Structure 1
Amino acid sequence: MSLKNIECLEDRKWLRLLVDFAGSSINHRRPFDPTTTLVAEGSWDARNNQLHVVACQFLNARNSLSPSHVGDCSTKLTLRFPAIWTIGNTSCIVGEIWSNKPTTESGYFENITFDRGDSATYVFPGQRYEYTKRAKATKLYPRMKSDVDDKKDLFPNPFSYEMRLDISANSSTGEAGWASFVPVSVDNRFVQPYWYLTEDGTEEYLGAHPVGASVGDRYNNNRYNISYRINIRPVDEIRLPSEVYQLNLYYHFYEMGIVAEGIYDDKDGSLCVVGCRYLSSNSHQQPTYDSVDCEIVVNVQLPPTNPKSNYSSSIKGSIKST
């Protein structure tokens, strides 16, 4: 589903828009199709970051608007933009759509909830990440030897692109795959390569630069609160049980999705995070959000950035269930 703004009355916070259900968001320049599009009016609730919409169908629509007219305005839509992200909720947009018709009337459909929580997402002014697993990660944090100061090694800055990791993964039983670690936040700043919506409504691409307020929530010197999205995908010939991997409906491959948070120390390059993943009993269904496993621990040793180091130049680590 995509929303296309037609008109906005800023003083009243009203807008007109198109709600497009063409089935794919990859081709943003596809031609207008009235058979898969609703025309809608909405109001913006700035206090609660919510958009309330009433949508109407184009009746008698085929491939153009010439024989059609607007009617059947029984579809309701609500979008919310959570101000606080947590390990259990990293969706930048959540909402629901439903029919206002009686259940026995033609065209009625049940309430449908949806969210957007992938890595290509938006950050809005005032949003922040709240750490809830920091104490647990701190207990599991692997202490380094006291002579680390003498090595003069330099490790990646927590706000740098080097904190985004793409690594090979091998299980204890020999299955192989790939894992990607994409940072969501460091301390109280978002650091993903987000599109950022500025206050005047324009878009600004920030790459890996931080977004948000100045750093003020650090655990202590050199140790940063950090959160990640971790995706583990087996190689093509590997098929693991459906309760382990879910089907990514957007890219059509199987993966295990983990949201994690914990501690990164740029003094010794060690990363320790606690992760959560949603479970599914059917690989062709989306994960069920009432079934979650938060007993996952991830330890990573990052290599130093200076070439004269005695450390290994490769990334070492483990992901395990406790």
Structure 2
Amino acid sequence: MLLSRDNLPETIADIEALDELLCRPSQALIDDLGKVDGDIMILGVGGKMGPTLAGLAKAAQPSRNVIGVARFSEPGVREWLEARGVGTIHCDLLDAAAVDALPKSANVIFMAGRKFGAEGNLALTWAMNAHVPALVAQAFRTSRIVAFSTGCVYPFVPVDGQGSDESMAPNPPGEYAQSCVGRERMFEYFSHQFKTPGRLFRLNYAIDMRYGVLHDIATKVASGRPIDVSLGHVNFIWQGDAASQALRCLAHCEMPTSPINVSGYEILAVRDLAGKFGKLLGRAPVIVGKEEPTAWLTDTSQAVKLFGLPVVDTGRLIKWTADWVSRSMPSLGKPTKYEVRDGRY
């Protein structure tokens, strides 16, 4: 079954159903992948989003060789991928010789990076977010490279505007976000040097039922924990839509590489989201703090022009999340920390 707005479920029963939905391709994804030849290699496939992106790529084009590369420190990930026909290669991306020895796929999705715990070891954060991209950009100089980045490379912008567009110069607070600028600059530099086509995939808050901005807010409402609204506005996108757009970017690479913002097209108030969860979960949210006039927000007009609106809209995401949380379904235990304003993660 192909993914479309007409066949989305009312609820997501369990993790198996969630995985199936996240790996369900749209016709638009199939069409765009048909425009590019060659294997697809996903570097850093072992994170929150990598496995389902790999599974989605394989489901969209079953005859294409899809390869996931990671250290595979998380139990079960490698087996999950291989069961879906995704090839796997164990590799420490900090090892320059190992990176250089990887097979040279025509298409690369770069997903490696370090955020959580970034302040605890800033040297490692910079190594993962800037040094590894330099190694990869040189090793895969003849590939198309879609490199995951973040909307956190932008400065805070007024919440009553449209958000940052791709023409805004990066100027973020905190070393984590600065290291993400470093990641982009490495891919930019080597794209210029080697004429490598690519895109810098500035993603703001992908979510599924087990993590993300909505999961964070809903679980706080359900447990009666306070919700800080000082960073009071957000945008976010269903992980399946984000993964699809990342893969579709392979058909829209530019030389030199260029940024594209990916998120939901709406700017949403945290206070309003908490209120909606309160009604669905039957518990009044506990709100603390006062909304600041600025936040990390992105303008996704360019992505909407290329890909159309996300398949899964905000209203459905809210209902899915409330249902998931109300049934005490599994969580990854990885808060988004969307409310952080000083860049310290």
- TM-score, normalised with respect to structure 2: 0.25
Higher strand fraction (1 or 2): 1
TM-score (norm 1): 0.26
Higher RCO by CA contacts (8 Å cutoff, separation 6 or greater): 2
Q: Which structure has the larger Rg over C-alpha atoms?
A: 1
When you count helix as a share of all residues, which structure comes out higher? 2
